[in-house]
Amino acid sequence: MRGMILETGRGPIATARAQHHEFANCLHTMAGLLHMEMYDRASEFIAELTRIRTRETQYADRVREPVLSALLVGKSAVAAERGVVLRIGAGTDLPRRALVPHDLMMVLGNLIDNALDSVASHRVPDSRVDVSIWAEGDTAVLRVADNGPGVPPDARPFVFLKGWSTKQPHGGRGMGLAQVRWITDRYDGTATVDERVGGGAVFTVRLPRALAPEATAVR
């Protein structure tokens, strides 16, 4: 349990660090362009940043739980630093009605971290991670797919056990997926891993009773 608590703190810290680095890099780049009097290029750089921020605001429109939309913004920065494209699925739509947002945040954050580790540690060309979140009644469904090496069928029964990891053998022992299982079990939910079409892995978690009933949902 102590290990899981420590692991819980590492994710948000890493996300905050990535956002800090991204902000610092943007400032340094702008300062350099202005110092070199490359004003046209500075204008283009600002336009590109604006496009990125516009895309990030769409997270709040489609995932109306602030904790999760904020997580996606942070994980996008982490993914970019690691050379991975993080995309939000077209079917993503989660009203702001999570009963315990922290649980959904931990599940989604760990699934994304696992996918990033998979594609980054194996140096997959054109690395990408696709995230989809939606509601089925009072059940929250979180799905994360990547185009990494995937999980062999004989290893799938063990992926949610403590110590299993998608990283290369030297990458350390995994705790994130074990934490996903721990939270999922508390909801009597399901956590599965399948093969992604075209190669890679698809992790799907269903958490029953994680969302408020329709009659009391906040829109």
User: How do the pLDDT tens digits run along the chain, 219 residues long?
Assistant: 444 444 444 555 555 555 555 556 666 676 776 777 777 877 776 766 666 555 556 666 778 788 898 888 888 888 888 889 899 888 898 876 789 999 999 999 999 999 999 998 888 889 999 999 999 999 999 999 999 999 999 999 989 987 776 554 444 445 789 999 999 999 999 999 999 999 999 999 999 999 987 655 444
pLDDT of 74: 84
Would strands 85-88 and 128-136 be described as parallel, antiparallel, or unpaired?
parallel
Q: In what order do the strands lie in the sheet containing 128-136?
A: 85-88, 128-136, 139-146, 201-207, 190-195
pLDDT of 73: 82
Count CB neighbours of 74 within 10 A: 22
Residue pointed to by tokens 């600002």: 46
Q: Which of 142, 160, 19, 11 is nearest to 88 (CA)?
A: 142
Q: Which stretch of DSSP H or E encloses residue 66?
A: helix 66-81
Q: Which residues are bridge partners to 145 per DSSP?
A: 130, 202
pLDDT of 122: 86
pLDDT of 173: 41
Distances (CA, A) of 31 to 19, 25, 34, 50, 82: 18, 10, 5, 17, 24
Q: Which residues are bridge partners to 54 per DSSP?
A: none
Query: Residue ranges of the domains in the chain?
Result: 2-212
pLDDT of 94: 87
**Residue 123: exposure state from Cβ atoms within 10 A (0-12, 13-18, ≥19):** exposed
pTM of the predicted model, to two decimals? 0.73
Please count the CA atoms within 13 angstroms of the CA of 110 that sit on its side-chain side: 26
CA distance 56 to 53: 5
- DSSP states along 133-168: EEEETTEEEEEEEE-SS---GGGGGGTTSTB--SS-
pLDDT of 162: 77
The architecture CATH gives domain 2-212: 2-Layer Sandwich (3.30)
Contact between residue 151 and residue 174 where contact means Cβ atoms under 8 Å apart: no
Residue pointed to by tokens 């699925």: 89
pLDDT of 2: 44
